Amino acid sequence: MNNTSSFSPNSPFMYGLAAAVILFVFAQSFFFLIRAVRRAHAVGMDISIVRKTIGSTALFTLAPAFSIMLGVITLAKFLGLPLPWIRLSVIGAITYELPAATSTANALGISLSETVTDPSVFSAIAWVMTLGIIPSIVLPPLLIKKIQKGIVQIKTKDEKWGDIFMTSLFMGMISAFSGMVFSRVREGLPGLLPVAVLAVSALAMCICGLLVKKAHVKWLENYAMPFSMIAGMVFASCASSAFGL
């Protein structure tokens, strides 16, 4: 396709595709909800407990859903709304989708400040995001038993070492993402902005943690990440406007 003027990531076709995927997910969720309620009736479970479980579960999903919404808004700036909507509402996560899209755009020399209008670039980004996530779908069913067995054995032999091992895995993942943040420091003020956003988000997370532990604001535990993301986004918007970035 050479005619880029007719391409739009927000085309009716893309919205129709996104709607079809979301409706399928809704139908699947509704199907299993009905099956679960019927099973609860079959085993004689109190209907009030069933309703309370459904309500508390629905409320608990608000926190991750809020984070997903922020991710969709972030990606929609340059990928349009339908593709991020499909990705983040079904299988993806902002911690993967954004680095995948950013890395592909940087490799192609494309700016992420404007909506992608080149179909080849859009296709490349979509393929990288899709192919990169496939191992997380295929490998867990094949390896999850061995992984769980190994983790259990480590914790059984030495619980303290097991905790250190799991923390190290988490910190390794964070370090991989931090590379994207600190790699542009040499660019001066524009490169320092991601570092400042990281610091603000981390500070917001620390404040939420203190409120949960010291002030016993337990409900904040599920919303600490969304609040930290919002704090970082607000700071990034204000700083960009103030310095003309």
pTM above 0.75, yes or no: no
In order of 86, 180, 240, the CA distances from 72 in angstroms are 9, 20, 20
Mean pLDDT of 198-210: 90
- pLDDT tens-digit map of 7-44: 888 889 999 999 999 899 889 989 999 998 899 888 88
> For the chain, how many structural domains are there in total?
2
> What pLDDT, on a 0 to 100 scale, did the predictor assign at position 20?
93
Mean pLDDT of the chain: 82
Same domain, 124 and 213: no
Confidence of residue 187 (pLDDT cuts 50, 70, 90): low
Same domain, 13 and 128: yes
Same domain, 244 and 127: no
Burial of 211-231, coded b for 16+ CB within 10 Å and e otherwise, reads ebeeeeeeebebbbbbbbbbb
Question: Of 105, 140, 175, which residue constitutes the final position of a domain?
Answer: 140
Same domain, 27 and 135: yes
DSSP label at 220? G
Question: Of 76, 110, 140, which residue constitutes the final position of a domain?
Answer: 140
- Residue 222: domain span: 158-245
- pLDDT tens-digit map of 65-94: 777 787 788 788 888 899 988 888 887 777
Mean pLDDT of 193-199: 84
Contact 133, 92 (CB under 8 A): yes
> What pLDDT, on a 0 to 100 scale, did the predictor assign at position 100?
84
- pLDDT tens-digit map of 111-152: 777 888 888 989 999 899 888 888 888 888 888 888 888 877
Same domain, 126 and 186: no
Q: DSSP per residue over 156-218, as a string? A: HH-HHHHHHHHHHHHHHHHHHHHHHHHTTGGG-HHHHHHHHHHHHHHHHHHHHHHHHHTS--G
> What pLDDT, on a 0 to 100 scale, did the predictor assign at position 2?
47
Same domain, 165 and 125: no
Same domain, 22 and 116: yes
Radius of gyration of the chain (CA): 22
Indicate whether 147 belongs to any domain.
no
pLDDT at 109 over 80: yes
Read off φ and ψ for residue 158, nearest 5 degrees: -155, 100
Same domain, 3 and 62: yes
Same domain, 63 and 130: yes
